[in-house]
């Protein structure tokens, strides 16, 4: 096979091999566009990003698309889209498919130096056809490297044989191109999953053959599914854009993914980006696999929602309600003032923005906009008659009349009614009050609802409940 040389070189090879000044730390995230970016990929990006920023270094994005059969433009676009939403800014970006000339040059150098050779072999898919592979000439030696997480690791490379580094002069394979790229891009620290440990001996041999400085490795524990299998595109891993579309905050994803396999050695779990950059320490990354737990992610997201300025959450709440078909069909008028009142009550019951949509679908916001429908039996508390509930509602009706519009809020309503509820039984008093306002078995407490819907609506709904009671003949208690 005649050597193929590029018509135009990017740089002279001798210049590329010369030592040059590099930032103290350069890391890279190198996803393959063969599927949507998922949490296992993203955790690697997070750790690489944090380590680079912590040391004032450079963070590189490299699209590894040498697998032409499986690489797709839609997956590459998803990588860019996901990183933009998640706020991981990269300093440089490369695409391997744009760098074939460089790989050809380095392959030819290894062949010229007799550190690689062209091997004519039967094709695996068709033994009658001959292919010309480029194989690395293995020196068959023991290699030891120090992993920042796992310590010293030793391999006997003789087990690898003369491994393939290109399927042809213009089709280099993963093991070769990543070494060339990491060298030329000045990558000093390679943070990647532990499933790449077995690849490291090949990479170190290629570094030696190119007389290139070796990077420092940190192999992360795998991100696992609940059954402790590897979380992957084919097994349970959801795209990062799924979490965006279902209402998670990018800051929460960053926070949660940083805790998969790492902790700061303190009780702190909620971090912003600045705090993570300050606290992150690769030496505290655990060796065992980290299970991706969506319940924990939901909790982390809730904590980040709580940290939002009130106006920010109110604006999102109003926008999400206004965008729903139910709000449009029923003509809900979500004024900024009403959204501000609704905010705390809704925030208490959700873990992400998508839960607002679920609340609307399940009619858990209807009672803020319209009077509920229910029967008198629903007003009855355990073991009490409907008429007993009516007695409590009569007291509530008279009491709320004494609260002025100016002082009408959750605290004032509770202060006026709480002593009576304590004396006659909280459930006995508050159940009919809450049902009169919401018409549902589950809802916020009645003081919260009354404070939001206002004095007139509260009085009207209590009055309607009393009318239902008056028209009801008590059935025997069961």
How many Å is the Cα radius of gyration of the chain? 32
- 240-306: CATH class: mainly alpha
**Number of C-beta neighbours around residue 160 at 10 A:** 15
- pTM score, two decimals? 0.87
pLDDT band at 22 (very low <50, low <70, confident <90, very high): low
Q: Which residue has the tokens 């509260």?
A: 458
376-470 maps to CATH 1.10.10.350: yes
Give the model confidence (pLDDT) of 418-445 as tens digits: 999 999 999 999 999 999 999 999 999 9
Give the 3-state secondary structure of residue 407. coil
- Per-residue b or e along 92-116, where b marks 16 or more CB atoms closer than 10 Å to that residue's CB: eebebeebbebbbbbbbbbbeeebb
At 414 the pLDDT is 97
Q: Kindly report which listed range (39-43, 207-211, 278-282, 394-398) carries the lowest average pLDDT score.
A: 39-43
Q: What is the average per-residue pLDDT within 35-42?
A: 88
At 477 the pLDDT is 40
Q: What is the average per-residue pLDDT within 245-272?
A: 95
Helices (H), 138-191: 174-184
Give the model confidence (pLDDT) of 96-153 as tens digits: 999 999 999 999 999 999 999 999 999 988 988 999 999 999 999 999 999 999 999 9
Q: At what angle do helices 73-86 and 250-258 cross, to 10 degrees?
A: 90
Q: How far apart are CA 21 and CA 3, in angstroms?
A: 32
Q: Kindly report which listed range (43-52, 120-129, 447-456) carries the lowest average pLDDT score.
A: 120-129
The residues pairing with 27 across neighbouring beta strands, listed in sequence order, are 59
Asked if 349 contacts 340 with a C-beta cutoff of 8 angstroms, the reply is no
At 296 the pLDDT is 96
Backbone torsion region of residue 198, taken as left when φ is above 0, otherwise alpha when ψ lies between -120 and 50, otherwise beta: alpha
Q: Which residue has the tokens 């009490």?
A: 384
**Position 320 pLDDT exceeds 70:** yes
**Position 156 pLDDT exceeds 80:** yes
Asked if 320 contacts 356 with a C-beta cutoff of 8 angstroms, the reply is yes
Q: What is the average per-residue pLDDT within 402-410?
A: 95
More confident residue, 304 or 224: 304
Q: What is the average per-residue pLDDT within 273-288?
A: 93
Q: Which residue has the tokens 């905010």?
A: 343
Q: What is the average per-residue pLDDT within 287-295?
A: 91
**Position 233 pLDDT exceeds 80:** no
pLDDT band at 23 (very low <50, low <70, confident <90, very high): low
**Position 1 pLDDT exceeds 60:** no
What average pLDDT does the structure give for the chain?
A: 92
């Amino acid at each position: 096979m005649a050597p193929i040389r590029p018509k135009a070189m990017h740089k002279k090879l001798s210049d590329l091999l010369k030592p040059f000044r590099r930032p103290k730390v350069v890391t890279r995230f190198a996803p393959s566009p063969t599927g949507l970016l998922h949490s296992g990929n993203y955790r690697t990006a997070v750790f690489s990003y944090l380590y680079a920023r912590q040391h004032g270094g450079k963070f590189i994005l490299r699209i590894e698309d040498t697998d032409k059969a499986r690489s797709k433009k839609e997956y590459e676009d998803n990588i860019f889209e996901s990183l933009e939403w998640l706020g991981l800014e990269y300093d440089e970006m490369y695409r391997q498919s744009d760098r074939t000339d460089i790989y050809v040059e380095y392959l030819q150098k290894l062949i010229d130096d007799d550190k690689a050779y062209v091997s004519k072999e039967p094709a695996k898919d068709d033994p009658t056809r001959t292919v010309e592979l480029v194989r690395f000439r293995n020196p068959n030696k023991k290699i030891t490297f120090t992993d920042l997480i796992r310590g010293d690791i030793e391999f006997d490379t003789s087990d690898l044989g003369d491994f393939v580094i290109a399927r042809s002069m213009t089709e280099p394979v993963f093991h070769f191109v990543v070494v060339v790229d990491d060298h030329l891009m000045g990558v000093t620290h390679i943070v990647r999953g532990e499933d790449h440990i077995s690849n490291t001996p090949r990479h170190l041999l290629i570094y030696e053959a190119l007389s290139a400085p070796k990077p420092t490795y940190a192999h992360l524990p795998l991100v696992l599914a609940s059954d402790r299998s590897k979380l992957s595109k084919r097994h349970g891993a959801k795209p990062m854009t799924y979490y965006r579309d279902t209402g998670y905050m990018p800051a929460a994803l960053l926070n949660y993914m940083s805790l998969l396999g790492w902790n700061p050695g303190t009780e702190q779990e909620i971090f912003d980006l600045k705090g993570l950059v300050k606290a992150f320490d690769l030496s505290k990354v655990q060796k065992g696999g980290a299970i991706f737990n969506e319940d924990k992610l939901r909790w982390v997201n809730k904590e980040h929602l709580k940290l939002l300025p009130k106006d920010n959450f109110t604006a999102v709440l109003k926008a999400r309600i206004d965008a729903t078909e139910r709000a449009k069909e029923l003509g809900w008028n979500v004024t900024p003032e009403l959204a501000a009142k609704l905010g705390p009550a809704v925030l208490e019951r959700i873990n992400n923005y998508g839960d607002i949509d679920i609340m609307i679908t399940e009619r858990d916001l209807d009672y803020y906009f319209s009077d509920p429908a229910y029967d008198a039996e629903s007003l009855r508390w355990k073991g009490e008659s409907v008429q007993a509930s009516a007695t409590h509602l009569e007291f509530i009706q008279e009491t709320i009349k004494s609260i002025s519009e100016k002082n009408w809020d959750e605290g004032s309503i509770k202060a006026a009614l709480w002593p009576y509820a304590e004396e006659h039984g909280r459930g006995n008093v508050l159940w009919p009050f809450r049902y009169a306002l919401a018409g549902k078995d589950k809802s916020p407490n009645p003081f919260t609802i009354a404070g939001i819907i206002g004095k007139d609506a509260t009085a009207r709904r209590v009055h309607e409940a009393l009318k239902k009671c008056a028209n009801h003949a008590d059935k025997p208690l069961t």
